[in-house]
Structure 1
């Protein structure tokens, strides 16, 4: 470059640079000035996602997406942003979540934790309403009240405790969620079905279904409520015309099982009361089960049967005995004045003030309680009705007083006080939720023989097969004077007051004998003394299973297995052999002493299935599973009766518009609550499935992730 040129450039041309280039004024090309990186470029939308500075060179920019450096000039950056490689990399980055997203910030985690705690609080409150039969309308006030009382609670601020929300939690969340969990438990093990029907306060006829199975979690055989449905529903008009037929009941029962994918092959037993619709031989629910489930074991409710035996036997006694109890109750219970007057006479005789009870034809244990209550207050009642006869001159009171002064009526009550507990004790024993089916055959035979010994020759009873004894065979009857009618009757039957009327004394002995005969006839009518299944199932009690003496009678498992074809395939000889070997070895095994002392059959077999010998093997796992599958047979229908008792407590006069489906969800919710550690709503923990059912996706974002959050309880 010349000195003159340098001077010219220093002074600066007056014309633009481009024109000078065209005219050829610039002989030598000017040097390009470098541009430093400007941080303001990162604020522009097209650069903000990827542009950053190059820490090693102030005159260069860097692309975070492509991991490359370039000259820090805007036209270069623009050209790079439009390149195919850059656009492809940018799209991939946008689709992928950053690593930090998998580690939520403390504020986000705490917020999600608060939301889930709020949802759990809503579920707990709904469970409280269900467990304690509280109307949902009160939820509207309760939610607002809690927020007013605890304004600083972050959890309460997130709750929405209202009538509609409470109903949604129970009807769409906890109830269906618990049923789905129960359905999963029934898809593998064997189980039995129990059913009954009843009419509630609003005249809605409903059918209840209870299932009985071995629960691997609790290690017990349990009865669980399954379903409550209307027999005459709006969606099935034909059922109204047909009535509560066996076809309608069975169709809805079967549908409730099949809808949840539970195979009918798992059903091994069916239990209900003895009415023709349920247990008839030709056209009943039981007959349909036999068609669909060959080999199923049908069990009539033994508690119903015992109650019917007692009711039929009581018909042999004078009607005045029952009428006395009814008239006393009717005379007193509607009048507070008369009740207070009776209380004064009870206190005068140092008796505990007690109300008179009403004889019920449907309640199993009411008759014995009524008789005992009248007899314990006999003297107080005599004084009371004597006073009533003098003061009120009531004809009904006078007729009651005459019966109270009749020594034979009181003697009948003494007899009933002794004989009725035989039925009620038996009834209470089999109302138990424990596994007592192993004792059923022995207990029935024991009660049958107990009655026979009261009026028949003891030697004849002991030497004759029970199924062949004829209770009406008078040649085997004891003389009336030798009848056993209880200690109280024995001490009073020969008093001068009773002996004074020999005709009535003879009638009394005859009627008491008729009571005993009718009791045995009813037992024989309702019980099959040759039921092989129940005889065999008694061998599965812990005492018999471990007994060497019982092995002499039943050395092989085959007679037991042949009565339970739905529990084990009789064609599977290999499995049968495994069971037989374990059955024969069981009395010889050196099992733990605490296991030998276990008397509960289901607990015994559950523990035995997990018991290990020295080699750490489980030698009795298969036989234990077989025994538990057999022991799920229903011995009574008391569980269904308990369900209807809950229905009556839930659907009251105030809540008489509750639909059957709503009650079904409430009962399921109560069962779910009972499975908590304390068996109440205080520590009830809803499952993730329940939370998913309760919370809609538009209520809380990312609810699928919310259900999986580990709750951090506040300290």
Structure 2
């Protein structure tokens, strides 16, 4: 009898874990809960007989939405327990949070956490994880601060271990009197706050373009071209018909959005690639709107500017992608920025970008009068208007754009008080910076550590520098980068506690809220117009599974089953 009961329970457990795997798969693929019963039925048809044991009587089959949500809660609970263990092991952590509006016009706050993790070799690196999402009654500093504190309290996380915060730089986040960051700094001295580098880069590009009237016009023309085809199947069909005759010139037009970090580069690239086909369509259509756009596009000034922008926006797009990398270190921010500024400035001075050079090679070096007495030239089989004034203004516009862009980048990325501390920490742990050049950095790090309770450590910091540089100079291949040197301090915490404290705070410091933006993208994939009544707890569980869940074969469904069966008495296990 006992053996029969054990076999029955084993079958029931197998049925439940198999159903959980289907729920997990649906969550990973952002599928609605109503798809799970259909998925079970399909697998039964395919011969997965374990699912037949889900039905224990005429009323209970564990495919109701309530049962599916319980499965999701238990799966997410396992992932949350693992995250709490990582936070407790790390001790130090940093937060990234932002607010947004979902499809049901409710304001939500998403929060990510950055912790320190060690691999099997004892090497420590930062890891970023989804912490949670919750609704906001109002998107003011009081509501956001209260929500942050509540989310930490519910999970039993002590605020005293907070080392850094990253936000989008809005006034509600960084206001000097009552901003969220200001409130957190009052609670925890030594918190290092950063304004998201991806947001700062986007704002710099927008500022550089919007300050120049002709650049504003270029963006308006590009958006008009996008709308001309996007909202007209007839126009789109005509464009595709022309593109089919010219392989390699079929890039999709894009709209310029300041809130989409890479949209300007993609829009300009499409304009340059599709130019010849675009003009052909406008001439064929011969409508008022088409001829108006044709006039704006077929002049030297416009062509020169968009070809120049093609070259200049390329390194900026690369920088934006680098700044959106997961677990980016502060040590990488300035070198990436400086190299991009140098590249853009070089393009401004030499005017030797690939696309601009190709364009200038196909046009006359000076304006020329044609047989009809007009100043024009042929470019890609189309007539382009030209003049000395246009050429001078085109060069001037491009120079103004780059000058304004570089100025804005330097201003927005200049160090504030917290930035100066992070720069000093980066220099201190950089083995390529000469030890003799780190005197000021030692002073800054020493003063900062005093604010977190580590006082009188200047001599210790100097001793650690001597040790680290001696290791590097003597050919120690384990000390080649800033992160290596920080790990050297962490491994020798008992000897150099102050240096270890500084290393941990540098590694865990966040530099962007890119993960929050990805979180909102995931939110919008899950909570769609067809699922606009999704409860916040369900949304939180689904986002956790989809964002941080491992592959289906790597998840511990046994642990999730144990959680599920202890929630209440289960009829299938009786």
The question of a shared fold, defined as TM-score above 0.5 by the shorter chain, is answered with yes
For 1:622 and 1:592, locate their aligned partners in 2 and report how far apart those are by CA, in whole Å: 25
Q: For the structure 1 residues 284 and 690, does the alpha-carbon distance in structure 2 shift closer, same or farther, using more than 3 Å as the test?
A: farther
Q: Which runs of 5+ in 1 are unaligned?
A: 1-103, 233-242, 456-481, 612-616, 675-679, 704-715
Residues 97-246 of structure 1: matches in 2 within 5 Å?
109-147=6-44, 149-150=46-47, 153=49, 156-158=52-54, 160-162=61-63, 163-171=65-73, 173-187=74-88, 189-216=91-118, 219-232=124-137, 243-246=138-141
SS of equivalent to 1:635? coil
SS of match in other structure, 1:281: coil
Does residue 595 (structure 1) correspond to residue 478 (structure 2)? The answer is: yes
**Structure 1 residues 312 and 672, CA, compared in 2 at 3 Å: closer, same or farther?**
closer
The change in CA–CA distance for 1:120 and 1:595 in structure 2 (over 3 A counts) is farther
1:561-640 matched pairs, under 5 angstroms: 561-562=445-446, 564-565=448-449, 569-571=453-455, 581-589=463-471, 595-596=478-479, 602=483, 623=499, 626-640=502-516
Distance 1:554 1:354, change over 3 A: closer
Deviations for 1:490-537, whole angstroms, at most 9, x for unmatched residues? 673972238962333332232222212321332233222464223223
- CA distance in 2: counterparts of 1:279 and 1:418, whole angstroms: 35
Matches within 5 A, 1:227-266: 227-232=132-137, 243-266=138-161
Change (3 A) 1:502 1:373: same
Q: Cα deviation per residue 1:293-342 (whole Å; 9 max; x = unaligned)?
A: 22211100111111111111112151331122111111112333322221
What's 2:208 paired with?
313
Closer, same or farther in 2 for the Cα pair 1:508/1:149, shift >3 Å? closer
Shift of 1:382: 1.0
Q: Does 1:539 align with 2:422?
A: no
Please say if residues 567 and 629 of structure 1, whose CA atoms lie closer than 8 Å, have aligned partners that are also in contact.
no
Match of 2:399 in 1: 513
1:550 to 434, 451, 454: 434
Could you tell me how far 1:148 is from its partner in structure 2? Answer: 5.2
The yes-or-no answer on 1:304 pairing with 2:207 is: no
Aligned to 1:670: 546
| Structure 1 residues 419 and 454: alpha-carbon distance in aligned structure 2, compared to 1, 3 A threshold | closer
Aligned partner of 1:290 among 185, 189, 192: 185
- In the alignment, the residues of structure 2 paired with residue 428 and residue 149 of structure 1 have an alpha-carbon distance, to the nearest angstrom, of 43
- TM-aligned CA deviation for residue 652 of structure 1: 1.5
Report SS of the residue matched to 2:131: strand
Name the CA distance, whole Å, in 1 between partners of 2:47 and 2:437: 71
State the Cα distance separating 1:273 from its structure 2 match.
0.8
Cα 1:618/1:121, change in 2 over 3 Å: farther
Indicate how the Cα distance of structure 1 residues 690 and 223 shifts in structure 2: closer, same or farther if over 3 A, else same: farther
How many residue pairs get aligned? The number is 540
Gaps in structure 2 of 5+ consecutive residues: 56-60, 369-374, 376-385
Measured after TM superposition, the shift of residue 416 of structure 1 is: 1.0
1-structure distance, mates of 2:268, 2:42: 51
TM-fit CA distance, 1:346: 1.8
CA distance in 1, matches of 2:498, 2:15: 46
Q: What is the alpha-carbon root mean square deviation over aligned residues?
A: 3.4
- 1:274–1:300 contact (8 Å) kept in structure 2: yes
In 2, Cα distance between equivalents of 1:562 and 1:373: 52
Judged with a 3 Å threshold, the aligned counterparts in structure 2 of structure 1 residues 156 and 682 are, in CA distance, closer, same or farther, namely: farther
- Cα distance in 1 between the residues matched to 2:221 and 2:289: 10
What whole-Å deviation, never above 9, does each CA across 1:593-651 have from its counterpart, x for those lacking one? 66346x5x55775588569xxxxx99789855642332111111111111011011111
Partner of 1:97: none
Distance 1:605 1:314, change over 3 A: same
For residues 404-435 of structure 1, the C-alpha deviation after alignment (integer angstroms, 9 at most, x for no partner) is 21121111101211222232222111111133
Give a deviation string over 1:686-709, Cα, whole Å, max 9, x none: 363663245534116999xxxxxx
Maintained 8 Å contact 1:556/1:580: no
Distance of aligned partners of 1:690 and 1:624 in 2 relative to their CA distance in 1, 3 Å threshold: farther
The answer to whether 1:430 aligns with 2:323 is: yes
Answer yes or no: is the 8 Å Cα contact 2:165–2:509 preserved in 1.
Answer: yes
Q: What TM-score do the two structures reach when normalised by structure 2?
A: 0.84
- CA–CA separation in structure 2 for the residues paired with 1:383 and 1:505: 24
**How far apart in 1 are the matches of 2:85 and 2:459?**
30
Aligned match for 2:307, one of 399, 414, 426: 414
Alignment correspondent of 2:443:
559
Q: TM-score, normalised by structure 1?
A: 0.68
Q: What does residue range 370-389 of structure 1 map to in structure 2 within 5 Å?
A: 370-389=267-286
Q: Which has the higher contact order (CA 8 A, sep 6+)?
A: 2
Matched residue, 2:380: none
2:522 and 2:108 map into 1 onto residues whose CA distance is: 13
The equivalent position to 1:497 in structure 2, one of 356, 363, 367, is: 367
Q: CA offset at residue 684 of structure 1?
A: 1.9
Q: List per-residue Cα deviations over 1:199-228 (Å, max 9, x = no partner).
A: 111111111111111123685311111111
Equivalent residue for 2:251? Answer: 354
Kindly indicate which of the two structures has a greater share of residues assigned to helix: 2
- Contact in 2 for aligned 1:415/1:485 (Cα 8 Å): no
User: Could you give the per-residue CA deviations for residues 49-102 of structure 1, whole angstroms, max 9, x where no partner exists?
Assistant: xxxxxxxxxxxxxxxxxxxxxxxxxxxxxxxxxxxxxxxxxxxxxxxxxxxxxx
Shift of 1:357: 1.4
Is the CA contact (8 Å cut-off) linking 1:309 and 1:523 kept in structure 2?
A: yes
Asked if the contact 2:23/2:68 (under 8 Å) is kept, the reply is yes
1:567, 1:412 → 2: CA distance? 51
Question: Measured at CA, do residues 697 and 247 of structure 1 come closer, stay the same or move farther in structure 2, by a change above 3 Å?
Answer: closer
Deviations 1:375-404 (A, max 9, x none): 111111111111111xxxx21111011122
Q: Report what 2:222 is aligned to.
A: 325
Residues 656/607 of structure 1: CA separation in 2 closer, same or farther (3 Å cut): farther
